[in-house]
Structures are given as structure tokens and as C-alpha cells.
Amino acid sequence: MTLAMALGMTACGNAIPDMAAADMQAVSEYAAITLIQYDTGHRSRLVDLELVAQEEARRQAEAEAQRREEEAAQEGAGMRPAENTPVIGADGRPESEPISMEEALNLPEGVTVTYVDMAVCDSYPQGDETFFAMTAGDGNRFLVLKYELYNGSGQEQYIDILSQGAVFNVTANGSFTRRALTTMLMDDLTSYRGTVAAGGTVEGVLVVEAESSVADSVASLSLNLKNDSKTFTAQYF
């Protein structure tokens, strides 16, 4: 109907002048746009800004939901702590912070323990005046690690390592590991219990039995001490 009116209006008045093809195309496009604007049944082909906003909000919501799911999965799997976040152990200290042998053995303040030397022998202790001595089995020898307990606290100190149940593991050449023997030796460090005078020094040893092939060619030596939740490690050579 609208189209008929438009054509009827062109019939009134002067005749339509001759126009170039480009001008005729422009007039045709203008007429088409005008008809579309007044056609209530026509749906605009222009992008609806409200629909665009709704679609963008939907995409953002999906991205946020996916991010939360990924974070929950990572937390459930157990992520590594940040490098600058210390892991606290049962004793309240950062696990990465090493402790001393004195701390591992709960020695009194001012008492120190120092590694001195290592000896290789077939029996220990050596000599005819010993109260108790051990002899290595056939094809074996003893690695004897020597220590000194020094009391620099200014007063006598009672030291009890025996009741703590500490475990001393000695490793030779990087791969041979044995637990130090608990013996009846008077200077056995694993079972030491006694009083050290102020300024006094007491000798202690850790004894490990090893094959002769290992004992006679020790190129490296280390200690791993565990006492409850405390761990001490030392590389001697």
C-alpha cells in the first residue's frame, strides 16, 4: 500500500526527469530504506546493542566460572608453596632451615659436639686393658667416627643421649649406608649418658661395620641423624 502511494505521488506534477544510472540507484536505495523504516513487520538488520551487551556478559560469566573451576582443581591437587613461603615443621622452625647436631640431640645450652676423625680397624677399642671390645666379622672392618663433646656452659651438665632413641646413619662413598651400632662401649655416642664437668671434654664414637672393600676405600663420608621430628645431616669429606 505504501509502495502504491509512493508511485502515485510521483505521477502528480511534472514528469520524472531523465537521471543517470548512478542517480537512479541512489534514489532507489533511499526509497527502499524509507519503506523499511515504516514497515512495522520488518526486523532491522542493524546489531542490537542490548543483545551485544547480554552476549558479552554471558561470555564473561562463563570465563569466570572456568577460572574458578581451575583454581579449585589446583587447590585439590596440592600446589607447591611459593618460593618465599617457608614450610614450618613440627618444632615451629622452617623446614628449609638446617639445625645443628646439638639441637638434634637436645644438648644443654653451651654443650657442643664436634666431628674429629675417622678410623678403620678390625676390632675396637684396641689394647689389652679394655673392659669391652668388639671384633668385626669375617671379611668386614669397622668404620669408627670420632667426636668430642665439650661443655662450655660454665657449669657441669648432665647429658642423656641414650633415652632419646636417636638414629645415626652413616653413609660411605655415597651409596653404602649403615646404622651405627649400639654397643656397650664406654664412649659409644649413641648410648652416652653421663655428666660433663664445666670446661670438660668427653670423647664419643659411632661404630659402623662394613665390608672390607668399602672400609678400605672410603672416598666420602656423611652422617644423617634423626631424633623424633628433628633431622641433622653433615658431609665430613
**173-200 confidence digits (pLDDT tens):** 999 999 999 998 999 999 999 999 999 9
Say whether pLDDT at 47 is over 50: no
What is the per-residue pLDDT across 3-26, written as a single tens digit (0 to 9) for each? 444 444 444 444 555 556 666 666
The DSSP code for 88 is B
E strand spans, the chain: 111-121, 123-124, 134-135, 140-151, 157-160, 167-172, 176-179, 193-196, 201-211, 221-227, 230-235
Query: Percent of the chain at pLDDT above 90?
Result: 55
pLDDT confidence bin for 209, thresholds 50/70/90: very high
Query: In this structure, are residues 182 and 161 in contact, taking their beta carbons and an 8 Å threshold?
Result: no
pLDDT at 96: 59
pLDDT at 1: 47
What is the per-residue pLDDT across 74-99, written as a single tens digit (0 to 9) for each? 766 554 444 444 455 555 555 558 99
Q: Nearest Cα to 147, choosing from 139, 159, 136, 155?
A: 159
- Amino acid at site 2: T
Distance CA 190, CA 165 (A): 8
Distance CA 136, CA 138 (A): 7
Give strand pairing partners of 22.
Answer: none
pLDDT at 18: 58
Distance CA 99, CA 232 (A): 6
Give a three-class secondary structure readout of 14-69.
Answer: CCCCCCCHHHHHHHHHHHHHHHHHHCCCCCCCCCCHHHHHHHHHHHHHHHHHHHHH
Cα-based distances in Å from 50 to 58, 60, 61, 65 = 12, 15, 17, 23
pTM, whole model, 2 decimals?
0.61
More confident residue, 41 or 116: 116
CATH architecture of 101-235: Sandwich (2.60)
